[in-house]
Amino acid sequence: MSITAGTLYRDTMNFTRNQLIGLLLLSLLTAVITVMLNQVLIPAPEQLQLLSNVSGDLSSTGQFGLHDLIQQMTPEQQMVLLKVSAASTFAALVGNALLTGGVLTLVRQVSAGQPTSALRAIGGSAPLLPRLFFLILMGTILVQLGMLLLIVPGVLLAIAVSMSPVIAAVENKGVFASIRLSAKLAYSNLKLVTPAVLFWLLAKVALLMLVARLPLVSPTTMAILMNG
């Protein structure tokens, strides 16, 4: 049976409206877990102070780019920056895996008429989490590499991997098999997939720009907003 973009988006909106509270709680819970994990993994405040000093020097000059800023750092400051980046990346990947697995499990539970909640959704997704973690890691690397080359390859790669979490969860496929099947399915249904992927990319850019303009918001609150 064929499906149109309008039907797909209408069904998605109906599901979102009917399960809005559960989705919001699931997003908030995974965001809080992400922030807490990030706080546990980041270096001690004394080490973070080294990066704060670098940020202060950058704001006073306003002439250095990111590459120049890293070149100006001492080896100790570069190591702290590496630890912070690794902690933030790992926490974000875990949060995305929890959120993706929770949403997919929530959809399955609702379709089966089972009782649903944010905790049940995350608990039910536990067997999928390792596979989703590595799948999201691979997808993130591919999309970021594409964005570094040119914008268009990044968008095409984002479209290619967009269906992979669903395939991994429903078809019980491995990481690379899910990506391969996702690319084949996504490119066969470009009219359905492309608008959703472009909307997601634009929404992510808009959110990052909005959060960057909120100097009075604490870093923890900003992290919850960005991961929620």
Question: Is residue 2 in some structural domain?
Answer: no
Identify the weakest region by mean pLDDT among 33-37, 51-55, 106-110, 194-198: 51-55
- What pLDDT was estimated at residue 183? 92
* pLDDT score of 190: 87
At residue 73, the pLDDT reads 74
* Residue that has been written with the tokens 């084949």 in this structure: 184
Most confident of the following: 30-39, 58-67, 73-82: 30-39
Q: Which amino acid is at 71?
A: Q
Q: Say what the pTM is.
A: 0.78
Give the contacts of 64 (CB within 8 A, at least 6 positions apart).
58, 72
**For the chain, what percent of residues have pLDDT higher than 70?**
81
Pair 139, 132: CB distance under 8 Å:
no
CB-count burial class (<10 Å; 0-12, 13-18, 19+) for 182? buried
Q: Is 189 helix (H, G, I), strand (E, B) or coil?
A: coil
Q: Which residues contact 120 (CB under 8 A, 6 or more apart)?
A: 105, 109
Q: What is the pLDDT of residue 212?
A: 63
Q: What is the pLDDT of residue 52?
A: 67
pLDDT digits 0-9 by tens, 100-151: 999 999 988 888 888 888 888 888 888 889 999 999 988 888 888 887 777 7
Interval 41-51 mean pLDDT: 76
The pLDDT value recorded for residue 2 is 58
97 three-state secondary structure: helix
Residue 195 covered by a domain:
yes
Q: How many domains does the chain have?
A: 1
Average of per-residue pLDDT values in the chain: 80
CB 43 within 8 A of CB 83: yes
How does residue 61 score in pLDDT terms, banded at 50, 70 and 90?
A: very low
Q: Which amino acid is at 11?
A: D
33: tokens are 């877990």
Read off the pLDDT of each residue in 35-45 and give the average, rounded to a whole number.
Answer: 84
Give domain status of residue 66, yes or no.
yes
Amino acid at 89: T
Q: Which of 10-14, 64-68, 73-77 has the lowest average pLDDT?
A: 64-68
Residues spanned by the domain of 125: 7-227
